[in-house]
Chain A
Amino acid sequence: MPQFVLSKAINAALRRAMEDDPKVLVMGEDVGKLGGVFRVTDGLQKDFGEDRVIDTPLAESGIIGTAVGLALRGYRPVCEIQFDGFVYPAYDQIVSQVAKMNFRSRGRLKMPIVIRIPFGGGIGAVEHHSESPEGYFTHTAGLKVVAVSNPEDAYWMLQQAIASDDPVIYFEPKRRYYEKAEIDTSATQAPFPLHASRVVREGTDVTLLCYGPMVKTCLEAAAAAEEEGRSLEVIDLRTLSPLDLGPVYESVRRTGRAITVHEAPMTLGLGAELAARITEQCFFSLEAPVLRVGGFDTPYPAAKLEEDYLPDLDRVLDAVDRTLAF
């Protein structure tokens, strides 16, 4: 089976989706000749032409707003937002138009739009290039939100997102773009549904809930904890809206302990929602309160301080110590 780094897996997924359906378009800033600042769309314009791989003016609201019109005309635009912190100028079009069109029209107007956003920190970038805006989008009814953590999911989940008649925000962990894995590209069907969480490491003592770039961190924490005789279960949420909580509840009822881990600021982050749901559904199985590990409630710091800001293996293990001390 061929090996792909995560960014190339996305490229292969785009290529396959465009070959399968002539209505699929790629649009964004620098996605054409340059192949995107992360080279995710490398070579697509050469093969599919400027009408299908559209270098847009430098205007994020314009990218999403025109994608709305293209979708209304029967196209399936895949929009690239260059960096997480640049999505805000498009925020109104996403939450007021993309998210609500299906509801507003009672299902007559579909919005099969995918908005790809490289997100999260850890690459030493300047301001506005390392944010975790997923909370804004998971809070908005009408949007579906996913975050990928590995090349195989990146490959399949993007194709599933493009095939979906609902708008999907597709978060790419930019610091994992160069993680490598095998992908069976000859398969005709995705191995997992788009909106399904997965147990990626089994364990018995504590459940770690994570997504995107933190999945690797949590797996490393679980490996380190094992050396100390602690067994951590790791769940990759994969889908952030709708959440797939069945496997989460099942796991927490078994382990009795849960820790949520994300890069986004803690307050009103996804961890808060998970803690509330777990408390409602698994109250009598819990041995300890659900703990949260996350970014601080500060603006993203300068690059030299991001190691302090971002949750890392030690912060996860510290939370494991705290939950087991109850």
Chain B
Amino acid sequence: MTAPYARSDEPELVQLLTPEGERREHPDYAFDLDDDAIKGFYHDLVMTRRIDTEAFMLQRQGELGIWASLLGQEAAQIGSGRALRKQDYVFPTYREHGVAWCRGVDPLALIGLFRGVDHGNWDPAEFGFHLYTIVIGAQTLHATGYAMGVQRDGLVGTNDAERDTAVVAYLGDGATSQGDVNEAFIFSTVFNAPVVFFIQNNQWAISEPIEKQSRIPLYRRASGFGFPGVRVDGNDVLATYAVTKAALQQARDGGGPVLVEAFTYRMGAHTTNDDPTRYRLTDELEHWKLKDPLARVKAYLVRNGLADEAFFEQVEADADTLAEHLRSSTRAMPDPDPAKIFDLVYQEQTPELVEQKEWFVKYHASFAAQAEVH
């Protein structure tokens, strides 16, 4: 039997922008940017959704092996991603396409990973954005260790905004069941590491509902480990920004870890490989469609006369241009050189791999030689 679980709209949910596009005040969290910034967020949200839509279609056309869609989670990612400073460091899962966008990572690098040409061809140090981690929850420990390094580097609590550094680990609701995540909570709190655990509770771990992961709201887990947790409306880009910004500042100031639970919903499948109609009801989807993270920002901008039709047309045009770029560049992406698999297994090459590579290169070339003869 499944335990009861409060599914949504609990009083503790921090919300600053309603699904209808109305601003709300919260006693602890305020959105401190101007309306131009909100227009910028809207641009980010639309671009991110378009990256997702295009990649999904490329997968359906056989151009990608698989794709993990972020549809519905754009606000959680853009809000938290835009709250980061340049020196902060992000440890993503495999679904943080919106955070990657905020960090300046080329979407084609994400697509390349899902196409299977490499395991993520971007420089994590350049963007402050680690490679995608596929094993659920493993990255939360990496984030904690990295934060312990930041601490040892003396980059916490100096009151220098250019120096003080926070680390963010993204994870999903399913990941909270993993041992590694619980170990990360323990290490981060006993060492007071400057790390923010940003859970996107999208309600589903592939086909398993949140009831299979927890009997309490996830943000309350933190208190058992001895650090604060907060639940935010994950479909509200203003609230996710404000809450994450506060959490990051606490970490940077030396206040230790914070858990942010962004309460959101995965509108699509877990990946292009599964079929959500087998495990969830249409009613639920319809309920969450009314909370769409893009629609409410648009409603706010329109309702208050902050953006005209030309603005929205321009955003769409930008998205169209990006989409066309992604389509043509993906199709033009060359297959990697197979001999590369023997390189960079280690920093210092081994005789064994040198030998295997030499054999393989000759073997491979023999087919080309045969083809010339015939």
- Is the CB–CB distance between A69 and B142 below 8 Å? yes
* Given contact pairs A65-B145, A70-B149, A108-B123, A57 touches B187 in the complex (Cβ within 8 A): yes
Is the beta-carbon distance between B144 and A66 smaller than 8 angstroms? yes
Do the beta carbons of B352 and A242 come within 8 Å of each other? yes
With contact pairs A102-B347, A141-B345, A144-B346 given, residues A62 and B149 touching in the complex (Cβ less than 8 Å): no
A243 on the B face (CB < 8 A)? yes
For the complex, is A107 an interface residue (Cβ under 8 Å from B)? Answer: yes
A285 at the interface (CB under 8 A from B): no
Scoring A residues 91 to 103 as 1 if CB is less than 8 Å from chain B, else 0, what string do you get?
0110011000011
Q: How many residue pairs at the A-B interface have CB separations less than 8 Å?
A: 128
Cα distance A102–B343 in the bound complex, in angstroms: 10
Known: A62-B141, A73-B149. A106 touches B347 (CB 8 A): no
A73 with B346, Cβ < 8 A, contacts A93-B180, A106-B118 known: no
B254 to chain A, nearest CB (A): 14
> Does B143 have its Cβ within 8 Å of any Cβ on chain A?
yes
Question: Quick one: given A51-B152, A92-B138, A108-B125, are A69 and B147 in contact (CB under 8 Å)?
Answer: yes
Task: Let me know if A287 is at the binding interface, CB within 8 A.
Answer: no
Which residues of B sit under 8 angstroms from A73, Cβ to Cβ?
A: 145-146, 148-150, 152-153
Number of interface residues of B (CB under 8 A): 42
Given A57-B183, A69-B146, A75-B149, verify A102-B344 contact (CB < 8 Å).
yes
Contacts of B146 in A (CB 8 A): 69-70, 72-73
Does B124 sit within 8 A of A, measured CB to CB? yes
Task: Determine how close the nearest CB of chain A comes to the CB of B315; give it in whole angstroms.
Answer: 34
Which of B121, B143, B187, B351 interacts with A106 by CB under 8 Å?
Answer: B121
Whole-angstrom distance between the Cβ of B151 and the nearest chain A Cβ: 8
Please measure, in the bound complex, the distance between the C-alpha atom of A102 and the C-alpha atom of B344, giving whole angstroms: 6
CB <8 Å contact, B152 and A59: no
- Cross-chain contact A62 with B119 (CB below 8 angstroms): no
Residues from chain B with a CB closer than 8 A to the CB of A71 are: 145
B345 touches A61 (CB 8 A): no
Chain B binding surface SS class = helix
Contact A57 B184 (CB under 8 A): no
Say whether B226 faces chain A, with CB atoms less than 8 Å apart. Answer: no
Chain B nearest Cβ from A145, distance in angstroms: 11
Q: Does B148 contact A70, Cβ atoms closer than 8 Å?
A: yes
A69 to B124, alpha carbons, bound, how many Å? Answer: 13
Q: A92 near B149 (CB under 8 angstroms)?
A: no
Q: For residue A87, give the distance in angstroms from its CB to the closest CB of chain B.
A: 15
CB distance from A33 to the nearest CB of B (A): 16
Which of A62, A70, A72, A166 sits near B184, CB closer than 8 Å?
A: A62
Known: A69-B143, A97-B142. A103 touches B345 (CB 8 A): yes
Chain A residues with CB below 8 A from B125, complex form = 108
Please name all residues of chain A whose beta carbon is closer than 8 Å to the beta carbon of B317 when the two chains form the complex.
Answer: none
Contact A242 B351 (CB under 8 A): yes
Check: A124 CB closer than 8 A to any chain B CB: no
* Residues of A265-318 whose CB lies within 8 A of B: none
Cβ of B143 to closest chain A Cβ, rounded Å: 6
19 contacts between A and B (CB under 8 A): A56-B187, A61-B180, A62-B141, A65-B145, A66-B145, A70-B148, A70-B149, A71-B145, A72-B146, A73-B152, A92-B135, A93-B180, A96-B135, A102-B345, A102-B347, A104-B119, A144-B346, A165-B348, A242-B351
Residue ranges of B at the interface with A (Cβ–Cβ < 8 Å)? 91, 118-121, 123-125, 130-131, 133, 135, 138, 140-150, 152-153, 179-180, 183-184, 186-187, 190, 343-348, 350-352
Residues of A whose CB lies within 8 Å of any CB of B are 51, 56-57, 59, 61-62, 64-75, 89, 92-93, 96-97, 102-110, 141-142, 144, 164-166, 195, 242-244
